[in-house]
Amino acid sequence: MNPASITFEGVTVRYPGVQRNAVTDISLEVGGGELVVLLGPSGCGKSTLLRTVNRLVALQDGRVLVDATDVAQLDAVELRRSVGYVIQAVGLFANMSVAQNIGVVPSLLRWSRGEIDARVDELLRLVGLDPAAYRNRRPSALSGGEAQRIGVARAIAARPRALLMDEPFGAVDVVVRTALQRELIRIVGELRTTTIFVTHDVDEAFRLADRIVVMREGRIEQAGAPFDVFQAPATPYVRQLVHAGDDVYRRYYMRTRELLRTT
Amino acid sequence: MISRRRALALAATAPLLTRCVFNRSAVRVGSKNFTESFVIAEIYAQSLEAAGMPVERLFNLGSTQIAMAAMRRGNIDLYPEYTGTALIDVLHLPPIANSRVAFEVVARAFRQRYDIIWLNPSPMNDSQALATTRAVASRYGVATLSDCARLAPRLRLATIQEFLARPDGLPGLKRFYGGFQFREIRTYDIALKYRALLQSAAEVSSAFSTDGAIATYDLFVLRDDRHFWSAYNVAPVVRARALAARPKIADVLNAVSPRITDRAAQMMNAKVEHDQADPADVAAAFLRQR
């Protein structure tokens, strides 16, 4: 299946009982197969914007299109099955095995038992875990990093057309995080799944992104290729956030970005 | 007799007081939030500890602005800073390519404006570079950028797109050194440029002087003999007051700084960024070798 494009058109969200908009008049196109990182401090609206795609929040104004279809026209359940979603608290079902967790959406979609089993093994290998060792484990027997890998496997099990990730690696230590970032780059590269990734970590944004979208107070400050943002920050806020002008940071970002892709 | 209430109040403040006293006697070492800064700050911290000074680590300060604010408020006593960063980002002066001149300018300005002392800089210079293999260097007799400028018509360059566009990339090199008309230039999307060198698909590649890959692949960095690229030597910057209280800090750090070379930084960056080693362990291993 071709990777989906995701288009935000004048998207505005205001939560009930809150004076200020969570996001205001955001327009953004995410191309098929692109990995876009929404970067900004907590409360900048990045998670809210992400959650408009699978309709976890309602729009005040504007629309969100997956390919040419307004998500408001789609059945919410169907939509969420076709768009993978990974959050920091992985939310694996404790009473199910790893295999059953990964197979949740495929079995809802009534894949055959054989198809699901094959898919589970394929995905465990894809996220770097040995199927024989992990297939029958309970979530309680997983480390934080392993659980996060299973979360990613579950999100892409039914071959979603897009992947939404909300600070997915925020709760694991730096070694595991780097390993997961490396896996994500490889997986998204192989599957060419359109991905929107939310983080407040500038370093992570520079490692992962095809394009960085810097957000602040519900609006987009700047969107661009990582080193274009670094080289030509659009606002003083962006300049300070990415340490633009300090070549030591540029070299560090470039080197770590490169390392994730070469080894 | 002390009232019950008074005794309680005293008991409550006691741990706080000891903590304050402890903090005041410890040397507070800061770092910015990237590998090289962590490792070098650890080298400073462990050197001071080895000389009998208690150290408090306030690492991961986030940015130059935050580190400098912490210095000026007296929240930290010292941290590793780069001459180029200080010059451009703190003092807002134009870049300087000569390491010695850059150091003198920032050292003077920091002392006068901020009451902050630059101890001796390390030879390590985190900068733009051109790299080649040792085999190519000896076959073509290329050791400096001047050599490379002259011999370029016989050499192929592997690089990344931005090196061809940046004023401190190839266009700047051509203007400054002349020559640099490479036989062939190939750009690599995700910087497989070093692999191109190793597979003999190119003789020269753009690089950063403290990249771990340079040590890992035992590459040869061409010397910027006429000083084109801005200098980014690292040095401990110390609050003058903290230094006056503990003059020994200067002796200890001035003894270790000469050992922090490009090669040492490459190896330490490789261990942390590639092998995922802990910066504190990497610093300890560095200090153990003699």
Residue range B241-267, pLDDT digits in tens: 999 999 999 999 999 999 999 999 999
pTM to 2 decimal places: 0.88
Q: Is residue A159 part of a domain?
A: yes
pLDDT of residue A171: 77
- The answer to whether the CB of B170 falls within 8 A of the CB of B178 is no
- Nearest chain B residue (CA) to A176: B276
Pairing between strand B55-58 and B156-159? Answer: unpaired
Q: Inter-chain contact A246–B85, Cβ cutoff 8 Å?
A: yes
Write a three-state SS string for A230-243: HHCCCCHHHHHHHC
Q: Inter-chain contact A248–B88, Cβ cutoff 8 Å?
A: no
pLDDT of residue B201: 94
Closest CA to A241 of A34, A49, A38, A50: A38
Q: Is the confidence at residue A235, as pLDDT, over 50?
A: yes
- The answer to whether the CB of B89 falls within 8 A of the CB of B32 is no
Q: What is the mean pLDDT of chain B?
A: 91
Q: Is the Cβ of B269 closer than 8 Å to some Cβ of chain A?
A: yes
**CA neighbours within 13 Å on the CB side: how many for A109?**
18
pLDDT of residue B274: 87
pLDDT of residue B232: 97
Q: Is residue A95 part of a domain?
A: yes
Pairing between strand A194-199 and A219-224? Answer: unpaired
Per residue in B148-180, pLDDT (tens digit) is 999 999 999 999 888 999 889 999 999 999 999
Closest CA to B230 of B187, B166, B142, B148: B166
Q: Inter-chain contact B84–A247, Cβ cutoff 8 Å?
A: yes
Q: Is the confidence at residue A165, as pLDDT, over 80?
A: yes
Q: Is residue A121 part of a domain?
A: yes
Q: Is the confidence at residue B6, as pLDDT, over 70?
A: no
pLDDT of residue A156: 87
- Nearest chain A residue (CA) to B208: A251
Looking at the 3D structure of chain A, how many domains does it have?
1
- The answer to whether the CB of A23 falls within 8 A of the CB of A14 is no
Q: Is residue A1 part of a domain?
A: no
Q: B residues 62-121 near A, CB within 8 Å?
A: 63-65, 82, 84-85, 88-89
Q: Is the confidence at residue B19, as pLDDT, over 80?
A: no
CATH number of domain containing A229: 3.40.50.300
pLDDT of residue B191: 60
Q: Is residue A117 part of a domain?
A: yes
- Choose from B31, B32, B33, B34 for mutation: most chain A CBs within 10 A: B34
Per residue in B79-134, pLDDT (tens digit) is 999 999 999 999 999 999 999 999 999 999 999 999 999 999 999 999 999 999 99
pLDDT of residue B243: 97
Query: A247 lies in which domain range?
Result: 6-262
Quote the percentage of chain A above a pLDDT of 90: 68
Instruction: List for chain B the helix, strand, coil content (%; round to 5).
Output: 55, 15, 30
Q: Inter-chain contact B274–A263, Cβ cutoff 8 Å?
A: yes
Per residue in A4-49, pLDDT (tens digit) is 999 999 999 999 999 899 999 999 999 999 999 999 999 999 999 9
Better-scored residue on pLDDT, B70 or A87:
B70
Q: Is the Cβ of B36 closer than 8 Å to some Cβ of chain A?
A: yes
Q: Is the Cβ of B232 closer than 8 Å to some Cβ of chain A?
A: yes
Q: Is residue A131 part of a domain?
A: yes
**CA neighbours within 13 Å on the CB side: how many for B79?**
30
Q: Inter-chain contact B276–A258, Cβ cutoff 8 Å?
A: no
Per residue in A240-260, pLDDT (tens digit) is 999 998 999 999 999 999 888
The torsion angles phi and psi of B273, rounded to 5 degrees, stand at -80, -30
Q: What is the number of CB-based contacts under 8 A between chain A and chain B? A: 61
Chain B CB contacts of A209 under 8 Å are none
Q: Is the dihedral of CA B62, B68, B73, B78 positive or negative?
A: positive
User: What domains can you pick out in chain B, each with its CATH number?
Assistant: 19-125+231-284 (3.40.190.10), 128-221 (3.40.190.120)
Alpha carbon distance B40, B67 (integer Å): 15
Q: What is the mean pLDDT of chain A?
A: 92
pLDDT of residue B242: 96
Kindly state the average pLDDT of the residues A143-159: 88
Q: Inter-chain contact B195–A248, Cβ cutoff 8 Å?
A: no
Q: Nearest CB to A175: which of B36, B82, B276?
A: B276
State the amino acid at position B216 in one-letter form: T
Q: Is the Cβ of A173 closer than 8 Å to some Cβ of chain B?
A: no
Quote the percentage of chain A above a pLDDT of 70: 99
- Nearest chain A residue (CA) to B233: A248
ipTM of the complex: 0.87
Better-scored residue on pLDDT, A173 or A157:
A157
Alpha carbon distance A124, A135 (integer Å): 8
Chain B CB contacts of A233 under 8 Å are none
Give one DSSP letter per residue of A61-76, joined into a string: EEEEEETTEEGGGS-H
